[in-house]
Every structure is written in C-alpha cells, then in structure tokens.
C-alpha cells in the first residue's frame, strides 16, 4: 500500500510541477485537464489506507507541500495580473466607445444642417 501511495503522490507532484510550468508559459488551455488529472490522483489516494505519518513522510520526501505553495503563489500572481489587464482593457474599451461615438453624432448634425 505504501508503494501505491508513493506512486500516487509522485504523480500528483509531477502534475503540480506541470501546472507551474504551464502557468509560467501562460498556456491556459491546458490547465483544466491538468487539474482534472490532479483531482483523479487525489481521489485515488483517498481509496488507500495509510497513516497520517506515512503520508506526511512521503510528502516531505517529494517536496509536495513546497511545490503546492509555489503553485498557489503563482496562481495568485497570475490572477491579479490578469484582473488588472482585464480592467485596463475594459477602461480602454469604454474610452474608445465614447470617442468613436462623438464624431458620428457631430457628423449627423452637420449633414442635417447642410
């Protein structure tokens, strides 16, 4: 049972590292599949019988927690960056709309007066 748990945690950790690389490279299309694979590994580990100490030892050995924290931090940074970019685009879109409407309104009035 320990070998199966070790394999599952190794695979979980491998997927976590892939997620980190995917976020760094901004390949957002792949994220959903990787998170599904990772959830499958979690579901698989939940079927195993093991002690908390065994789980903790293997996690420490594979640096699972360190990689998990790195992934969470990177996700927060990317989320905040993307939020700010969306806000900038939204503000730009509103400004463009207001500027582009102005000449159309003025030209209609000019055409009517002539």
Low-confidence ranges of the chain (pLDDT < 50): none
Does residue 102 contact residue 52 with C-beta atoms inside 8 Å? no
Question: Would the CA dihedral through 47, 49, 55, 59 be positive or negative?
Answer: negative
Mean pLDDT of the chain: 86
**Overall domain count for the chain:** 1
For residue 2, the model assigns a pLDDT of 83
**CA–CA dist 67, 81 (Å, integer):** 21
For residue 25, the model assigns a pLDDT of 93
**CA–CA dist 45, 43 (Å, integer):** 5
For residue 112, the model assigns a pLDDT of 53
**CA–CA dist 86, 77 (Å, integer):** 14
Domain residues for the domain of 26 are 2-113
**CA–CA dist 114, 107 (Å, integer):** 11
> pTM for the complete prediction?
0.75
For residue 107, the model assigns a pLDDT of 55
């Amino acid at each position: 049972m320990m070998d199966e748990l070790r394999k599952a945690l190794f695979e979980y950790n491998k997927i976590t590292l892939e997620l980190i690389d995917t976020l760094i490279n901004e390949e957002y299309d792949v994220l959903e599949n990787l998170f599904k694979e990772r959830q499958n590994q979690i579901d698989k580990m939940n079927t195993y019988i093991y002690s908390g100490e065994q789980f903790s030892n293997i996690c420490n050995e594979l640096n699972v927690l360190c990689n998990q924290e790195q992934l969470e931090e990177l996700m927060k940074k990317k989320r905040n960056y993307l939020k700010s970019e969306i806000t900038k685009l939204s503000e730009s879109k509103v400004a463009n709309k207001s500027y582009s409407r102005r000449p159309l309104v003025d030209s209609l009035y000019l055409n009517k007066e002539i």
